[in-house]
Amino acid sequence: MKVDLRKIAFAIIILFGLSQAVRVYGMPERSIAVFEEVSYVVFIVILFVVILQVYRFAVVRLLDWLDESIDDGTKSGLYPLLSVMGTLVISVACVWTILSHMGIDILVILTSAGIIGLAITFGAQNTLSQFFSGLSILLSRPFKVGDVVRLNNTHITYRVRKIGLMNTILEEWDSREPYSFPNNQLSNAIVDNVTSEKKSFNIILFFDVNYESDLAKAKEIMLNAAETAPHIVMDGSWPHPSVSFADMSTTNIRMKLSVFGDDYVNNSPIISGLIENIVNGFKNNGIRFSPVRYDINMCGGAEE
């Protein structure tokens, strides 16, 4: 602790000693009463300073213990908040004690403060909701900076950039474009943290290939690109890559490639590399085509 307890004890002893000394010296009773009132106020302030330092020390120890027990390599970042809250509560208690000793009616002050506080609460309801939601996120830690998450069962993937008390900054996995989400919105959302483990996922690629092209060659290129691409599951735990005809038009036939990747967190480079190999193979073999789209699904709800 920063406060030297020996100095604090020495100051308290001096105060009590001076209180007795002024009586022995024979000062007027009125002057003695004023001196004792001042001594009491100083004593209360010193006492609450000690209590504040003990509180801050306990908060540091508690947060260190929580960080060690969670063991995710990050700090909770709650010390500034808890320190300010503790300082506010202890300071109010100190003033309350001093005013009560002076005979000031605290109930009137509390009633006025309660009415003002109620008005502020109604006016800042959304802000308070964001604040307490942020506090809940920091304590429960459903995700941390650097994690990859999905919201509300969508396929949009975000990386957590910053977690604040009011807002959390998420960036899109592909574009790296940042978005600021209010914490009360995140606390009410379904958050799927896909960072904790490598999860397999299903990739569905669609290409429209012209009828005049060699369809058998196009199928061979798609299969070869899938079977030789990194992070494609080929151990039999999921179906091997397959190509089928999904639809047709007057000029094109839609070809569908279904493969399984082994790491959903890194799905973007896996899919990009796979598409690049197929496109290069089509171009090198004179196959006329146009990419249509791709779909990704977590395994368990994958499209076969």
Q: Is residue 28 part of a domain?
A: yes
In a domain, 140, yes or no: yes
Nearest CA among 212, 217, 199, 207 for reference residue 279: 207
Are 168 and 214 in the same domain?
A: no
182 and 213, same domain (yes or no)? no
Same domain for 187 and 154: yes
Alpha helix segments (H runs only) across the chain: 5-25, 29-70, 79-101, 106-123, 125-140, 183-187, 215-228, 267-284
Residue 211 shares a structural domain with residue 280: yes
User: Angle of helix 79-101 relative to helix 29-70, nearest 10 degrees?
Assistant: 160
Tell me what pLDDT residue 298 has: 67
Looking at residue 289, its pLDDT comes to 92
182 and 209 both lie in a single domain: no
Q: Please report the pLDDT score of residue 146 as a whole number.
A: 76
Is 124 within the bounds of a domain? no
Residues 6+ apart with CB under 8 A from 89: none
What range defines the domain where residue 143 resides? 136-193
Domain boundary among 193, 222, 238: 193
Contact 252, 290 (CB under 8 A): yes
Q: What is the pLDDT of residues 129-144, one digit of tens each?
A: 777 777 777 777 788 8
219 and 184 within one domain: no
Query: 157 and 177, same structural domain?
Result: yes
CATH number of the domain residue 173 falls in: 2.30.30
- What is the three-state SS of 142-205? CCCCCCEEEECCCCCEEEEEEECCCEEEEEECCCCCEEEEEHHHHHCCCEEECCCCCCCEEEEE
Q: Is residue 130 part of a domain?
A: no
Chain centre distance of CA 179: 13
Residues of the chain with pLDDT below 50 are 1, 70-74, 300-304
Q: Which two tokens stand for residue 22?
A: 């002024």
Tell me if 116 is assigned to some domain: no
What does the block give as tokens for 103? Answer: 């005979």
Residue after which a domain boundary falls, among 193, 227, 262: 193
**Which of 206, 291, 290, 279 lies closest to 244 in space, CA to CA?**
206
Q: Say if residues 219 and 243 touch (Cβ distance below 8 Å).
A: yes
Residues 266 and 215 both lie in one domain: yes
Asked if 26 and 69 sit in the same domain, the reply is yes
Answer whether 138's CB lies under 8 Å from 78's CB: yes
Q: Count the domains in the chain.
A: 3
Q: Is residue 286 a part of any domain in this protein? A: yes
Within a domain: 88: yes
CATH number at residue 256: 3.30.70.100
